[in-house]
Amino acid sequence: MSSLTHAPAAGSPRELARRFLSVPSAVIALVVFVLFCVVGFGAPLIAPQNPYDLRQVDILDSLMPPGSQSYTGLTYWLGTDGQGRDMLSAMLYGIRISLIVGLLSGFLALVIGTFVGLIAAYRRGWVDTLLMRIVDLQLSFPTILVALILLVILGRGVDKIIFALVVVQWAYFARTVRGVALVEGAREYVDAARGLRLSGMRILFRHILPNCLPTILVVATVQMAMAISLEATLSFLGLGLPPTRPSLGLLIANGFDYLQSGRYWISVLPGIVLLGIIISANVLGDRLRDILNPRL
């Protein structure tokens, strides 16, 4: 009596993955990004040298160009920096910390922002107005400024920079999620759920939220790229991460003074890597947005 369409459901994970990968740039970006993640998180295992272990670092080996050898037989594939740290190892650890900070702060901002956005959209009235005015306030300050001030006050540390990044990012999530939640909340299936006397929280988190996920996902990828970039900027300025845990930004900063004397590898190589991470994250976000948007 009832017949079914047998094509894979539009919107099923398999169908979405197929469309996502149908554009070469998306495939490349995905591969590059995954590669960065793998080497970054695997840094302790694959780095030739632990650049934070002072016993492994020899100041006599400082400022050696790429390809040179240390007296212990270790090849400095990408040269060394001013302290004698192997650039390759330092960059691997740098990728690691940049990704951790970026992903973690992005994720926390997502959770907080989504929660605020959902509550604002569902409660409407003065709750909505209050929350959105706070969001507006937050968004009207330049992100760099707020992060700077916070880090100056808080000092250095991984937790502190994550905190600062969450503070400057959550508002953007809140506003976007509120918008999507308002649209979804106006749909008839929400009326049906209310008619079935399901509780407000259940409707919000089990009915509305899942339908907001595509948009949240797209915003998250874009924001993550921004978080990584922001962290690099702050580290470059000497804030946030301690010098004992150099992120890519700090590495770039450290090498800045040597650029003029031709020792490019200390700044430029980390810069290229940073660029690669951000671009691949952005391309992924763009592609996600493309396939998730024109859904009929």
Tokens of 52: 């934070």
Contact 180, 215 (CB under 8 A): yes
Concatenated DSSP letters for 12-66?
-HHHHHHHHTTSHHHHHHHHHHHHHHHHHHTHHHH-SS-TT-TTT--GGGTTPPT
Q: Which residue lies nearer to other proteins by CB, 141 or 189? A: 189
**CB 223 to other proteins: min, Å:** 23
Contacts to other proteins by CB under 8 A: 1-5, 9-11, 126, 129, 187-189, 191-198, 202, 207, 210-211
* Cα(221)–Cα(194) distance, integer angstroms: 33
Q: Which residue lies nearer to other proteins by CB, 4 or 45? A: 4
**CB 141 to other proteins: min, Å:** 22
Q: Which residue lies nearer to other proteins by CB, 190 or 252? A: 190
Tokens of 227: 């978080």
**CB 195 to other proteins: min, Å:** 5
Task: Return the SS3 of 243.
Answer: coil
Q: Which residue lies nearer to other proteins by CB, 45 or 196? A: 196
Q: Which residue lies nearer to other proteins by CB, 133 or 145? A: 133
* Cα(72)–Cα(53) distance, integer angstroms: 16
**CB 286 to other proteins: min, Å:** 24
- DSSP percent split of the chain into helix, strand, coil, nearest 5: 70, 0, 25
Using alpha carbons, select from 236, 226, 232, 224 the residue that is nearest to residue 273. Answer: 232
**CB 188 to other proteins: min, Å:** 4
Q: Which residue lies nearer to other proteins by CB, 193 or 216? A: 193
Concatenated DSSP letters for 57-78?
--GGGTTPPTTEE-TTS-EETT
Contact 91, 251 (CB under 8 A): yes
Q: Which residue lies nearer to other proteins by CB, 9 or 111? A: 9
* Cα(204)–Cα(122) distance, integer angstroms: 7
Output the CA torsion 66→72→74→80 (10° steps).
-40
Q: Which residue lies nearer to other proteins by CB, 194 or 289? A: 194
**CB 167 to other proteins: min, Å:** 27
Using alpha carbons, select from 47, 42, 45, 46 the residue that is nearest to residue 57. Answer: 47
**CB 199 to other proteins: min, Å:** 8
**CB 177 to other proteins: min, Å:** 16
